[in-house]
Amino acid sequence: MPTEPRRPDDGALASLDAEPHRRRNALTGEWVLVSAGRTRRPWLGAEEPEPPEDRPAFDPGCYLCPGNTRVSGDVNPAYATTFVFTNDFAALRPDTADARLGEGLFRAEGTRGTCRVVCFSPRHDITLAGMDADSIRRVVDVWADQTTELGSRYRWVQAFENRGAAMGASNPHPHGQIWAGDALPVEASLELDAQSRHHAETGRRLLVDYAAAERGGPRVIRDADGWLTLVPFWAGWPFEAMIVPIETAARLADLDDARRDALALALQDLNRRYDALFGRPFPFSMGWHQAPFGEGDPAVWQLHAHFYPPLLRASVRKFMVGYELLSEPQRDLTPEEAAERLREATTA
């Protein structure tokens, strides 16, 4: 049986950090170019505007607030905690024709699915960072329940949140989405292949081994109550992060009450650290990667959440353009530096 993976020697890695180098993403097999020090270059490009400081607790013009009418004409209930509804402009539909067209270089196929909106809170003026742990726990339960329900019909269930206009959020009301489809997306397929290979070689889950190797290391942001928050060794975005359970779990529904309570605290902590980093609401896209349904053995998969924030400085975002689009991702500060800055960000 192969030995358990160990964290790379921090001293040797530090000497490499001063030079351009590449790091391999163990989950996908892809590579990222690390070019530390480029944050010092002058910036004369676009800057992100300051987000509005104040929002009302209830906005009569918001189509997600309780009791308001949406564009579809449907009226939201007077919900008091969370609220889930089918997206009025869904990117996937359950009635798509089951068709396959072409062959060779020209192939297309119909795909079925559904898209739902999850309102985290009835309050318009709050985010997960400002919600208490009990309220966040209710969101965790919704993610888990929705995943189980949709997984009975679809192969892949993707729960995610786009936070902030910089990440394409069309409405500031605290909400996320859940898309479910009958196809296994590219990212999920890559992660499934990597985790399956690792399990076949070791008998263990890749991310359980990875979390064990990272604990106590320079990329860890928080390690508490069975949940590890860290900047991945292979992070592409400046302050990218992952949340991973220390013990095995393939999906959110596998978590008992104690682990869900602890997850709510981990989510609250990371959201608050992000906001504290630059003293402003921090935009990001985040999402849960859970074991696919009807696709191999779920025991090879470890539940995890990805956070992809675009900001490099308080008002400067990282653009994935040029070399990043045409070659591979490139980052301007090391994951170790990013984790240190997030550890130092106060959550009070």
The mean-pLDDT minimum among 42-46, 57-61, 131-135, 157-161 falls in 42-46
The SS3 of residue 219 is coil
pLDDT at 66 over 50: yes
Q: Kindly report the average pLDDT of the chain as a whole number.
A: 92
Q: What is the pLDDT of residue 6?
A: 76
Q: What is the pLDDT of residue 3?
A: 66
CA atoms of 57 and 61, how far apart (whole Å): 12
CA atoms of 143 and 303, how far apart (whole Å): 13
Residue of 175, 198, 289, 304 marked catalytic: 175
207 with 195: CB under 8 angstroms? yes
The DSSP bridge pattern shows strands 83-86 and 100-103 to be unpaired
Q: How is domain 83-181 classified at the architecture level of CATH?
A: 2-Layer Sandwich (3.30)
pLDDT at 43 over 50: no
Q: What backbone torsions phi and psi does residue 341 show, to the nearest 5 degrees?
A: -70, -35
CA atoms of 146 and 30, how far apart (whole Å): 31
Number of residues written out for the chain: 348
With respect to CATH, is domain 11-48+185-344 assigned 3.30.428.10? yes
For residue 159 the two structure tokens come to 């729960």
Q: What is the pLDDT of residue 5?
A: 72
Decide if 124 is catalytic.
no
CA atoms of 22 and 25, how far apart (whole Å): 10
pLDDT at 230 over 70: yes
CA atoms of 210 and 233, how far apart (whole Å): 10
What are the residue ranges spanned by the domains of the chain?
A: 11-48+185-344, 83-181
Q: Which residue has the higher pLDDT, 94 or 42?
A: 94
Q: In what order do the strands lie in the sheet with 31-34?
A: 21-24, 31-34, 330-331
Q: What is the pLDDT of residue 244?
A: 98
Q: What is the pLDDT of residue 42?
A: 53
Q: What is the pLDDT of residue 44?
A: 44
pLDDT digit string, tens, across residues 101-149: 888 999 999 999 999 999 999 999 999 999 999 999 999 999 999 999 9
Q: Where are the alpha helices (DSSP H) in the chain?
A: 10-17, 133-151, 186-202, 206-214, 257-278, 323-326, 335-344
pLDDT digit string, tens, across residues 240-253: 999 999 999 999 99
For residue 131 the two structure tokens come to 């919600």
- 47 pLDDT band, cuts 50/70/90, is low
For residue 117 the two structure tokens come to 């909106």
CA distances (Å), origin 217, targets 211, 213, 242, 343: 10, 8, 14, 12
How many whole angstroms from its chain centre is CA 22?
23
pLDDT at 87 over 80: yes
- 39 pLDDT band, cuts 50/70/90, is low
Q: In what order do the strands lie in the sheet with 227-230?
A: 83-86, 113-119, 175-181, 156-163, 284-289, 304-308, 241-245, 227-230, 220-224
* 11-48+185-344 against 83-181: fold identical: yes
Q: What is the pLDDT of residue 110?
A: 93
Q: Bridge partners of 325?
A: none
pLDDT digit string, tens, across residues 273-327: 999 999 999 999 999 999 999 977 899 999 999 999 999 988 888 889 999 999 9
- 329 pLDDT band, cuts 50/70/90, is very high
Can you give the pTM of this predicted structure? Answer: 0.94
Other residues' Cβ atoms within 10 Å of the Cβ of residue 244: 20
